[in-house]
Amino acid sequence: MTRLLFVTPDRSTFAELSSEIEKQSGTISWAATGRQARETIRETALDLVLTDERLDDMSGLELIKRVTADNPMVNCAVISSLSEAAYHEASEGLGILMQLPPNPVGADGKRLMTHLNQILGLTKAER
């Protein structure tokens, strides 16, 4: 079972995404703030942290910076409305697994889980 942490002040933003991930045997924990997320990450073994673009206490990219500083082995993904070039500039060096669009849909969840499973060695990489 794949364990994910979704960080968002509004769970409805991830409704379609979470539904698709649960269909693929993903277990989702939730945090509303960056601070809550970091506490959960310290206490729980996770396969992926997915953060919303804006949290009440920091941006999603700021959370990823803090998470990877605490534990560089945590896989992370982020919701971002930045253009590809601006996102690359803002996230360079953070090792973020994937950028997802605002209000992600089920297809985004499927794409995320496929990529994550390849990284975790649970499925063979498609050629």
Q: What is the pTM of this model?
A: 0.91
Alpha helices in the chain (DSSP H): 15-23, 34-43, 60-70, 84-91, 106-120
pLDDT digits (tens, 9 = 90+) for 93-123: 898 999 999 999 999 999 999 999 999 986 5
User: Per the structure block, which two tokens stand in for 84?
Assistant: 């590809």
pLDDT for the residue 85? 93
* Structural domain spans, the chain: 2-120
Query: How far is C-alpha 2 from the geometric centre of its chain's CA atoms?
Result: 13
pLDDT of 124 higher than 60: no
pLDDT of residue 111: 94
In this predicted model, what pLDDT tens digit does every residue of 17-27 receive, in sequence order? Answer: 999 999 988 89
Instruction: Locate 109 and state its tokens.
Output: 């969840």
Instruction: Write down the pLDDT at residue 34.
Output: 97
CATH number of 2-120: 3.40.50.2300
Tens digit of each residue's pLDDT (9 = 90 or more) over 41-98: 999 999 999 999 999 999 999 999 999 998 888 999 999 999 999 999 999 989 899 9
Predicted confidence (pLDDT) at residue 125 exceeds the cutoff of 60: no
**Cβ–Cβ < 8 Å for 32, 101:** no
